[in-house]
Structures are given as structure tokens and as C-alpha cells.
A and B are shown apart, each in its own frame.
Chain A
Amino acid sequence: MAGTAVRGRLTWQVSAVTALIDETASVKTIELQAPDWAGHLAGQHLDVRLTAEDGYRAERSYSIASAPGEPVALTVERLEDGEVSPYLTEELRPGDDLEIRGPVGGYFVWDGDDSVTPLMLIAGGSGVVPLRSILRHRSNLRSTVPVRLLYSARSLADVIYRDELDQEGAGVEVIYTLTRQQPQGWTGHRGRVDKSMLSEVAWPPDQQAIAYVCGPTPFVETVASSLVGLGYPAQRVKTERFGGIGGS
């Protein structure tokens, strides 16, 4: 079926890297120009495919960090012993081609619905990436939906998008918990997210909040089951698991 685009059917397309931005010591944002991009929703991801000269291929998924309407951007955390993330964060240069397939997903998305349902966003490490798209979308829409973001990072230096998050305006509360290292005089949360932290930080269940939980698989499992334990109906806890990767 060469040359015919079947509606809805996803195919691989070649995008061009336009910029690489340092977020933390191990995290970079990659901005792409994707001529055939159909537009995306907040929370969606895409698949990246790398091809070596001998034809060897590797594929991975990455959340879209930018808001709908903005050029496609990814934010990738480098795993020392990983195959794809060190390439994306260290080898890739502006002007390089990057093969992508997307946008993907319809479950872990926020469509901008402006009803008053508060959002409870909970991120472990790079799990903040799709939630950042949701926050930017909310702000672009001038939505007044109340949002809390609970973001678990190893240390303050590992917080991705910190400047942006610290400037979030009215209606957005950003709460960090630092799991490994806290700065002198840190008064915020420390340690991993658990049920007692959630009972303090999360919207009470009677607020009918929708929770979006994203990050390494063990993190997501713990947070999602704690939320259900606190009285969140399972259908109001949306999850996306990144696998057994990285730190939170």
C-alpha cells in the first residue's frame, strides 16, 4: 500500500531535531519538527525507533512534553546502562533525523474538559513529562480546574521543569517529595509517596478528583493502590507505567 495513507492507521514518520535543552544533569528535552504530525492531546506519548547501520533496531515510548498545538517535544532521562536513552540525551544533535510514530494513546489524556473536577497529578521521576503537558494545556486554555501535582524526585536537582513548575499560577499547587537528598532546611516532604503522604496531600475522595499517576512501575503500583485504599474509585485513577526504570 505504498503511498496511501490509511486514515487512523499509524505509520512511522521522520522528524527533525530542532533543539536539545538541558533540564537536569541527566535529563534533556528534545524539540522536534514533525511535518506530518496530526496534532496531539495532553498526556499522549509517541514511539521512537532507532536504526543502526547494520539494520539493528530499537524502539521505545516517550511521553509528549509539549502542550497540544505546540511543536512536539520529548523529555528523556538518561539511564546509564540503557540502550536508547543515552543515545537520545548524548548523541543526538540538532538537525538529526528521528523516526517517530504517534501520537499514541487515549486513556492517559486530559482533554481540557473545564468541568470543576479537580486533577490530582502524581509523578515519579520522568513520570512528570505527560503531566507537564497537561499543566501547559491547562494554562494555555486558561482553565480554572484546580490541580495538585505531587512530584517525587531523588533530590531538588533532579526535579525536571522546576522553574516552570515554581511559576505555576493560581489554582495549581506543586508539592515535592525528595526521596534521597534534601537541601538544608528543607521543610517539604521527604521519602517515598505512601498512603499517609497521600492522605495529607491528595484531594479528599469526596471532591471527585481524577488522578493521573505516572512513573516507574513500582511507584505507580504503590500510589494507585494507596489512592484506592483512601477511597478513590479505581476508574478515577488513571495510570501509566514506564517500566522498572530510573529513580523517583
Chain B
Amino acid sequence: MSPISRGFHGRRREPAEQSSRVPPGQYVTQDFPVLSAGPTPRTALDNWSFSIRQSGNTSKSWTWSELQDLPVEDVTADIHCVTRWSKLDTRWRAVSVDTLLAQVEHNARYVLAFCDGGYTTNLPLADVTAGQAWVAFDYDGEPLAPEHGGPARLLVPHLYFWKSAKWVRGLELLDKDEPGFWETYGYNMYGDPWREQRYAGD
């Protein structure tokens, strides 16, 4: 048993009136912590594209400017990281994944997001459709910074934030669920913060 460190509260500031918005085991932070498992990739916008793939083939892809020409939404969301911080009312500019998927024919049930730097994460199709997921490129009125996943990251606020893949470059459409990066190492395939689904079996 570890002794309690007298007077230590971590980085938390937890206004009581917001507690209904904060999942169990989480604390609210005003900062925007950077989570990283590797060096920050830097892809020039000229070389950037977003693709939807099926069985190894690209069904559709958008260049940076083509993506910007799609209908853009302003999204305000609370985000919850598995390392126990939550951040309320984050503001994004983003293209809905619905908009992207509407341009391909498929009957997939899962997606695997893939990224610059090799990161992947898996999600049920039902969780990236119906207005629940976006490809986000502005944060708080500014272009998304590389350390936070810029030029674009996935935004799936209702799941733990490792599902909101940074430096996202596309979605692979799948019939069966396949573990992504952290999921391979024992993190939960789904990752619902309200049910504290951190690890496999939670």
C-alpha cells in the first residue's frame, strides 16, 4: 500500500457543477495534454490526403483542399483521455465522417483508422456515423497543432480519446473488428469512458 502524499491532488480542478459531465475516475484539466507514442510526424499539406480503403484498395480519397471544400461543421465536445484527464467544451472545425462515408458504397461494420507514424485504432461503424465522429483540422479557432494531431485528427468524443487518432490519414472499412495499436497491447476494443472501459475485459 502506498502512503497518501499529503496535499497532493494531481493536476485536477473539479468544479462540482460539472461533475455530471465527467466520467468516473476522470479529472478536469484546463490544459491540453499531449499524448504521444512516437515522434510527431510532419506531412506537408500538398502531400496530404484522406482515404477510405476496403480490402486493401482505396475506394475514395480527398486531397487537403478537396477535404476543405466539403461541408464543415463547428463541433463543441467534452473529451476524456484514458490517462484520466477530461477537458470540457473543446471547440473544433471538422468534416463529419458521415459526409465522407456517404461517398463510398460499403456494408462494413467496423473501421480501423490509420495515421502518419503508423498509429491505428479500431471503432465500430455505428460509432463513427450518425453525427458522432469527425475529421477535425481546427482547434479553438486555429489550425490543429502537429503535437495535437495536426493537420487533421479523428474526433470521436464519446469514446476514450485514444480512439480520436492523431495525424489520421484514412479509414479502412472492415467486416470484423481488428485491434489497433493500444488495443493490441491490452486496451479495450471499445473504450467507453462512462463504463471505464480502459482495458480488455473492463
Q: Are A and B close enough to touch in the complex, i.e. CB under 8 Å?
A: yes
Kindly state whether residue B130 has any CB partner on chain A within 8 Å: no
Residues of B within 8 A of A98 (CB): 5
Contact size class for B? 10 to 19
| Given contact pairs A56-B27, A56-B84, A81-B31, A91 touches B3 in the complex (Cβ within 8 A) | no
Kindly state whether residue A50 has any CB partner on chain B within 8 Å: yes
Which of A14, A58, A81, A93 makes the CB contact (< 8 A) with B10?
A58
Contact between A52 and B4 (Cβ–Cβ < 8 Å)? yes
**Shortest CB distance A80–B (Å):** 12
Kindly state whether residue B195 has any CB partner on chain A within 8 Å: no
Contact between A83 and B4 (Cβ–Cβ < 8 Å)? no
Residues of B within 8 A of A97 (CB): 3, 5-6
Residues of B within 8 A of A53 (CB): 4
Contact between A83 and B10 (Cβ–Cβ < 8 Å)? yes
Contact between B7 and A87 (Cβ–Cβ < 8 Å)? yes
**Shortest CB distance B26–A (Å):** 10
Interface size on A, residues (CB 8 A): 19
Kindly state whether residue B185 has any CB partner on chain A within 8 Å: no
Residues of B within 8 A of A14 (CB): 3
User: Please, what's the 1-or-0 string for B1-41, where 1 marks a CB less than 8 Å from any CB in chain A?
Assistant: 01111111111100000000000000100010000000000
| Given contact pairs A56-B10, A83-B11, A12 touches B4 in the complex (Cβ within 8 A) | no
**Shortest CB distance B87–A (Å):** 15
Residues of B within 8 A of A51 (CB): 2-5, 8
- The distance in angstroms between the C-alpha atoms of A53 and B12, with both chains bound, is 12
Residues of A within 8 A of B5 (CB): 50-52, 87, 96-99
Contact between B4 and A96 (Cβ–Cβ < 8 Å)? no
**Shortest CB distance A238–B (Å):** 22
A/B interface sample: 15 pairs, CB < 8 A: A14-B3, A50-B10, A51-B5, A51-B8, A52-B8, A56-B9, A56-B27, A87-B5, A87-B7, A87-B8, A91-B7, A93-B6, A97-B3, A97-B5, A98-B5
Write the residues of chain A forming the contact surface with B, with a CB cutoff of 8 angstroms. Answer: 12, 14, 49-53, 56-58, 81, 83, 87, 91, 93, 96-99
Write the residues of chain B forming the contact surface with A, with a CB cutoff of 8 angstroms. Answer: 2-12, 27, 31, 84
Known pairs A51-B4, A52-B5; list 16 more (Cβ under 8 Å).
A50-B5, A50-B10, A51-B3, A51-B5, A52-B4, A52-B9, A56-B12, A57-B2, A81-B31, A87-B7, A91-B6, A96-B5, A96-B6, A97-B3, A97-B6, A99-B3
